[in-house]
Amino acid sequence: MAAGGPIVDEADPAVAYALLETDPNAALIDVRTRAEWAFVGVPDLSALGRQIWPIEWVGFPDMAPNRAFLDELSARMGGRKPSRMFFICRSGSRSMAAAQSVAMALVQQGIDAHCTNVAEGFEGDLDQDGHRGGMNGWKARGLPWRQN
């Protein structure tokens, strides 16, 4: 990666939360679907005096790409670029794609970007029984979250 280019890295959920805790200008973008937010829960940053930015990367139920993703992110940013953007999904796959896409889009606009994928995601990997949420991920690591 060239100097001044996009930075896309990964952090496990505990490290991501600690970095969000120490950097008031960082943002957490939850790229899961509305159904996931409603039925599975969302990270809770209220103890940090902040909210997550829920923006679907793909829509449910057809899982079609959200063509307005970058526009919705730009609207959330309100003219300011966070010092670092953390992206989270269920297990880390969609959020990595979103982080890479955002980093490239910002760099094409001449804006340095530091985008971090939250490895393991909100629910984590499948366990031996084919279930998520107990092996790793935001919830399994005991980080703050809530359900509607």
Per CATH, the number for 7-146 is 3.40.250.10
Q: For 26-70, what is each residue's pLDDT tens digit?
A: 999 999 999 999 999 999 999 999 999 999 999 989 999 999 999
pTM of the model: 0.93
Q: For 94-110, what is each residue's pLDDT tens digit?
A: 999 999 999 999 888 88
**Region 121-145 average pLDDT:** 92
Q: Tell me the domain boundaries of the chain.
A: 7-146
Q: Contact 48/21 with Cβ under 8 angstroms?
A: yes
**Region 3-21 average pLDDT:** 88
Strand ranges of the sheet holding 7-11, from the earlier edge strand across to the other edge: 7-11, 114-118, 84-88, 26-30, 53-54
**Region 104-124 average pLDDT:** 91
